[in-house]
Amino acid sequence: MYICEKCGKEVSVKELESMPGLLRCPNCGHHVFIKKRPPITKKVKAV
Ligand SMILES: [Zn+2]
C-alpha cells in the first residue's frame, strides 16, 4: 500500500502497477508516493 504524499490518498500496489511509467495519484495527480508499512502485530500470550 502506498500513500500519496500530497493528499494522503491510499493507492494499492496493484493500482500503481496498472499504470506503468506514469505513477500518479488518481485523486490529485501528484506523483510522489510514500510506502505504507502495515502495522506490526505481535502476538502476545496472555498469562
Ligand atoms: Zn494525491
Residue ranges per structural domain of the chain: 2-35
Place of cell 495519484: 25
- The reported pLDDT for the residue numbered 21 is 73
Cα-to-centroid distance, 42 and ligand 1 (Å): 31
- The reported pLDDT for the residue numbered 40 is 79
Nearest CA to 11 out of 30, 25, 32, 29 is that of 25
Instruction: Render pLDDT for 2-47 as a digit per residue (tens, 0 to 9).
Output: 999 999 999 888 887 887 677 888 899 998 999 988 777 788 887 7
User: Within the chain, how many helices (H) and strands (E) appear?
Assistant: 1, 3
28 φ/ψ angles, rounded to the nearest 5 degrees = -125, -10
Torsion of Cα atoms, 5 then 1 then 38 then 6, to 10°: 10
Cα-to-centroid distance, 41 and ligand 1 (Å): 28
Cα-to-centroid distance, 37 and ligand 1 (Å): 18
Cα-to-centroid distance, 23 and ligand 1 (Å): 11
pTM beyond 0.85: the answer is no
Cα-to-centroid distance, 33 and ligand 1 (Å): 8
In sequence order, what are the beta bridge partners of 31? Answer: none
